[in-house]
Amino acid sequence: MDERMRELGAFLRAHREKTSPAEVGLPPGGRRRTPGLRREEVAALAGVGVTWYTWLEQGRAPGVSDQVIEAVARVLRMTDAERHHALVLAGRAPVAAAPPMVIRPEQAELLESLLPFPAAIQADGYEIVAANRTYRFLFHDLDDYAPEDRNCAWLMFTDPVWNAAIVDRDVVLPEIAARLRARRVEHPGDPRWDLLIARLHDASPHFRELWERYEVADDRPSIRRYRSPAAGDLTVHFQSLWLDPARGTRVIVMSPADARTRERLERLAALTASAPSWTAREDVLAA
């Protein structure tokens, strides 16, 4: 069985079981094994055969069309990000290839210009490839970590200092897992992604539980609250500035959401002023 079709089946099943009859205008219909819809109900509402939809959830339906995925996504009340995820899993949307990354001088200058606000350059798999000094020292000296561990998802789920610094863990960590699931299918066969998910799966029971929800999400600006060992309590606007959307390369920036946060970030920047304005992994520096 094709791995991506198997994952599509599991993804659809998880959404079916979370979609109530009331959400699609159906009566409860007596006792149900799960609170969600039955397969025959999804099939009828989407205009496909029950047997074929059953094969779809089992990962063995041949020749899935855009129209079928769109119809099922509509029945299951999927968001745009979830619908796109289903199309990618079905092989009905293009996937991106990520060429090797190199930090260019103008990108390093951008990191420096954003001081005293924390900023970092992140690759498509949440790898932190470069950071200005405020970001570097925000939770723990980022340069103390092995290059393969400088990954936001890995650190948030497995590093005690980073994990404790997230005030709203019950919101942030599910979002991270959902974004990872959405992005992973864009990179089939990429060993970086396979290794990251396998490491997280082995190291974090919480990640395993969230991963099995089959939830997906896209990136959007948000308010984040942190408890930084170096700067204290912070409330920031967390946003992405895309450097190359096709590669998934972006600058992540934390700008202050209030005056107290601004003062604390400025103080941290002053305390670390003797450090280089930015640092990067050696493997991404231009020759």
* Cα dihedral 45, 46, 48, 54 sign: negative
Type and span of the H or E element at 56: helix 50-57
DSSP letters for 211-237: HTT--------EEEEEEETTTEEEEEE
Ordered structural domains, the chain, with CATH? 3-89 (1.10.260.40), 105-281 (3.30.450.180)
**Each residue of 192-221: pLDDT tens digit?**
888 899 999 999 999 999 999 999 988 788
Span 243-248, average pLDDT: 71
**Each residue of 270-282: pLDDT tens digit?**
999 999 999 998 8
Tallying the residues shown for the chain, one arrives at 287
**Each residue of 26-50: pLDDT tens digit?**
877 666 777 788 889 888 888 888 8
- Tokens coding 244: 């190359």
Q: What's the pLDDT at 99?
A: 46
pTM beyond 0.85: no
Q: What's the pLDDT at 238?
A: 95
> Which of the two residues, 222 and 96, has the higher pLDDT score?
222
pLDDT at 111 over 90: yes
Q: Which of 71, 64, 55, 124 is nearest to 93 (CA)?
A: 64
The backbone region for 59, taken as left when phi is positive above 0, alpha when psi lies in -120 to 50, beta otherwise, is left
With cut-offs at 50, 70 and 90, classify the pLDDT of residue 95: low
Q: Which of 149, 153, 152 is nearest to 197 (CA)?
A: 153
The backbone region for 189, taken as left when phi is positive above 0, alpha when psi lies in -120 to 50, beta otherwise, is left
Q: What's the pLDDT at 87?
A: 85
Residue 23: Cβ within 10 Å count: 13
**Each residue of 164-188: pLDDT tens digit?**
999 999 999 999 999 999 888 877 7
Question: Hey, what long-range contacts does 189-192 have (CB within 8 A, 24 or more apart)?
Answer: 190/98, 192/125, 192/127
The CA distance from 221 to 234, in Å, is: 16
